[in-house]
Chain A
Amino acid sequence: MKIITRLLPHPVLSPTLTVLWLLLVNSITPGQIFLGLFLGWVIPLLTLRFWPEAVNIHRPFALLRYIGMLLLDIILANFTVARLILGDPDRLKPVFIELPIILTSDLAISLLANSITLTPGTVSARLSDDRRYLLVHALNETDPNALIAAIKDRYERPLQEIFEQC
Chain B
Amino acid sequence: MLEYFLSFLILTGAALTFIGSLGLLRLKDFYMRLHGPTKATTLGVGSLLIASAIFFSSRDAGISLHEILITLFLFITAPVSAHLLAKAALHLNLRSFAKMPIKSIKEKEGASNGTIGTQILEDNPSSSNTHAPKKSVQP
Contact = CB atoms under 8 A, between A and B. Distances in A.
Contacts of B42: 74, 78, 118
Contact of B35 (A75, A110, A121): A121
Contacts of B22: 85-86
A147 interface: no
A95 B99 contact: yes
Given A52-B134, A123-B82, A94 B66 contact: no
A23 B101 contact: no
Contacts, number: 159
Contacts of A98: 101, 103-104
Interface in A115-148: 116-118, 120-121, 123-131, 133, 135, 137-139
Interface in B114-135: 118, 120-121, 123, 125, 128-129, 134-135
Given A78-B43, A124-B83, A130-B125, A26 B64 contact: yes
The B interface, classified by DSSP as helix, strand, loop or mixed, is helix
Given A94-B98, A113-B79, A129 B28 contact: no
Nearest to A24: B69
Interface in B42-72: 42-44, 62, 64-66, 68-69
B34 interface: yes
Contacts of A23: 65-66, 68-69
B103 A133 contact: yes
A129 B128 contact: yes
A89 interface: yes
A81 B107 CA distance: 30
A85 B66 contact: no
B9 interface: no
Given A94-B97, A110-B120, A123-B38, A89 B27 contact: yes
Contacts of A52: 134-135, 137
7 contacts: A48-B138, A78-B44, A82-B19, A86-B22, A98-B103, A123-B38, A124-B79
Given A74-B39, A96-B100, 14 more contacts: A48-B138, A77-B43, A85-B27, A89-B27, A89-B32, A96-B99, A106-B123, A123-B34, A123-B35, A125-B31, A126-B86, A128-B107, A129-B129, A135-B104
Interface of B: 16, 19-20, 22-23, 26-29, 31-32, 34-36, 38-40, 42-44, 62, 64-66, 68-69, 75-76, 78-80, 82-83, 86-87, 89-90, 96-101, 103-104, 107, 111, 118, 120-121, 123, 125, 128-129, 134-139
